[in-house]
Amino acid sequence: MSVDPVRLEIFKNLFHSVAEEMGAALRRSAFSPNIKERRDYSCAVFDAAGEVLAMGDHMPVHLGSMPMSVTAALHALRLDPGDVALLNDPYAGGTHLPDLTMVMPVYAAGTSRPLFYIANRAHHADIGGANAGSMGMSREIFQEGLRVPPVKIMQRGRVAQDVMSLILANVRTAREREGDLTAQIAACRIGERRLLEMASKYGKRDVISYGRHLLDYSARMMAATLEAIPNGIYRAEDFLDDDGVTPERQRIAVALRIRGKTAEVDFAGSAPQCSGSVNAVEAITWSAVFYVFRCLLDEQVPATSGLMRSIHVTAPAGTIVNARPPAAVAGGNVETSQRIVDTLLRALSRAIPSRIPAASQGTMNNLSFGGIDSRRVPGKPFAYYETIAGGTGGGPGSPGTSATQSHMTNTLNTPTEVLEHAYPVRVRRYALRGGSAGEGQFSGGDGILREIEFLSDVQAGILSDRRELPPYGLSGGKPGKSGKNELIVEGRTQKLPSKCTFYVPAGAVIRIETPGGGGWGLASANKQRGKRKSPKAPSP
């Protein structure tokens, strides 16, 4: 079948619109501020073989790893019409336990096999475990929450009440969890409806064929991009400050080999899996590689599984980039994923320095807390989770951006009005952290200063990094300023570690200062440029 480039573009946008509409439906119908306001969710469309055809403009850390969840669901279950699989097991294609993934087959009338699969993933503000928010410090996955292998949350169009009841019995905020899970089911149904409409309008044969063509087109575009990078082996390393249990820095090492139209990404030499929760599973490492190489492409290139055909990833089992059970992994999804990106970009800066920016903040500054809302009678349990933005790195030709989410996260903030209405807190300060950006010809962006006062006693947790080792600059640029965590109780300020779980009395304040981005290029270049542009004084 010949490929019509116009129809290829049409189908690219049709598939993408399905993923986007799924996301809009999930956002509008969810209960929690984490999904409704922060938009901590992702949606994607897959072909009958489980290959990604389209991703919404959502969370990179979700999207690159979601194919492994789909594969795990298809291997574990037979999905009939009306079935929906649910899973969060990091060792079966998941990322960390709060990320719950749903996978649904799309059958046309009279077909015995699915035409497509659709999937969505949402971060739930609590999934049980020892700590409110399910993102605290832990040493094994069993402390982190309820671990769900692939199971059916819907069977033949009806909710599996036994599965739903089991989940709701193990979380702190059952009503909110049920609302968010139901919203995910609704998003699946929207995706199913739109794909069947496409098949009816254009014919199953064309829709399926152009899905394959999109995969091939993406593969060709990535191969052409790799071919433009000079052949060679480019090495880099970077470190996490610690794992939260021991003070040792955790090494991420990569050797990137470019050879013609192919790339080999080898993480041999990275630290062994650690005692804390910053271990990343293989799906996270794969996702970070997918993200970095996708950044080298024009944004119009479809984000399909075809992008990875020319890229081989080696992540040794038992290391911090491919941890084995029962390692704790809550922070691997959010912190180690960012450091993998920083390391890959540093390696690429040695191959194509004119295209790679300095390091962004390199952390998601995860804050979680929960307790009993004493404003209500009787008290109501609550759990909250957020990531806090920071500065991005300056790059060739452009400065960094202040106060924005970067790289593996793509969420918004929770508006102050919503946060104070929904939870017993008062936002004392929310401002740019002036002077935190790294200087350079193109400086980095500034981080954020966030102060939250608690009106009830809470259990809180912080998973952050770049508190000791700052975001690096490139090409002579200065590093950004490291972050800082503090707790203020009765006027006394104490420094908090980068990763910790602790109890906070009512009236106490948490202050988080996020890192700024690194600078790019020598700052003196700006001065020289300014001198050249200055007009000469008139002759006497």
Per residue in 274-308, pLDDT (tens digit) is 999 999 999 999 999 999 999 999 888 999 999 99
**How far apart are alpha carbons 147 and 153 in whole angstroms?**
14
91 lies in some domain: yes
What was the pLDDT predicted at 125?
A: 94
244 lies in some domain: no
34 lies in some domain: yes
Whether residue 90 contacts residue 77, with contact meaning beta carbons closer than 8 Å, is answered with no
Per-residue buried b or exposed e for 473-503, using 16+ beta carbons within 10 Å of the residue's own CB: bbbebbbbbbbbbebbeeeeeeebebbbbbe
Whether residue 388 contacts residue 450, with contact meaning beta carbons closer than 8 Å, is answered with yes
Instruction: Copy the structure tokens of residue 27.
Output: 């956002």
320 lies in some domain: no
Which residues are registered as beta bridge partners of 494? 487
What was the pLDDT predicted at 536?
A: 46
Torsion angles phi and psi, residue 35, rounded to 5? -95, -45
In a shared domain, residues 361 and 213:
no
Residues 6+ apart with CB under 8 A from 535: none
Whether residue 358 contacts residue 519, with contact meaning beta carbons closer than 8 Å, is answered with yes
**How far apart are alpha carbons 433 and 486 in whole angstroms?**
15
Backbone CA torsion sign across 265, 268, 271, 277: positive
36 lies in some domain: yes
What was the pLDDT predicted at 538?
A: 41
Whether residue 268 contacts residue 343, with contact meaning beta carbons closer than 8 Å, is answered with no
435 lies in some domain: yes
Which tens digits make up the pLDDT trace of 407-464? 999 899 999 999 999 999 999 999 999 999 999 999 999 999 999 999 999 999 999 9
Instruction: Copy the structure tokens of residue 403.
Output: 């106060």
Asked which of 194, 218, 242 is the last residue of a domain, the reply is 218
What was the pLDDT predicted at 2?
A: 77
Asked which of 218, 236, 258 is the last residue of a domain, the reply is 218
- Based on its alpha-carbon atoms, the radius of gyration of the chain, rounded to whole angstroms, reads 23
Residues 6+ apart with CB under 8 A from 524: none
Write the CA distances from 100 to 95, 139, 154, 261, integer angstroms.
Answer: 9, 21, 14, 36
Q: Any idea of the CA torsion for 447, 448, 449, 454, to the nearest 10 degrees? A: -140
- Judged by DSSP in three states, 191 sits in helix
Does the pTM surpass 0.75? The reply is yes
- Concatenate the DSSP letters of all residues of 203-260 into one string: -HHHHHHHHHHHHHHHHHHHHHHHHTSPSEEEEEEEEES--SSS---EEEEEEEEEET
Between strands 262-266 and 311-314, the pairing is: parallel
What was the pLDDT predicted at 136?
A: 86
**How far apart are alpha carbons 10 and 145 in whole angstroms?**
43
Asked which of 218, 238, 253 is the last residue of a domain, the reply is 218
Domain that holds residue 438: 357-540
The residues of the chain scoring below 50 in pLDDT are 532-540
Whether residue 66 contacts residue 119, with contact meaning beta carbons closer than 8 Å, is answered with yes
Instruction: Copy the structure tokens of residue 386.
Output: 């957020």
Residue whose C-alpha is closest to residue 319's, from 267, 246, 255, 245? 267
What was the pLDDT predicted at 539?
A: 41
295 lies in some domain: no
Whether residue 391 contacts residue 445, with contact meaning beta carbons closer than 8 Å, is answered with yes
Residues 6+ apart with CB under 8 A from 109: none
- Judged by DSSP in three states, 475 sits in coil
Residue whose C-alpha is closest to residue 475's, from 358, 361, 389? 358
What was the pLDDT predicted at 378?
A: 82
Amino acid identity of residue 359, one-letter, is A
Which pairs count as long-range contacts for 429-434, CB under 8 Å and 24+ apart, including other chains? 429/511, 432/402, 432/403, 433/481, 433/513, 433/514, 433/516
303 lies in some domain: no
Domain count, the chain: 2
Half-sphere exposure of 487 (CA within 13 A, CB side): 21
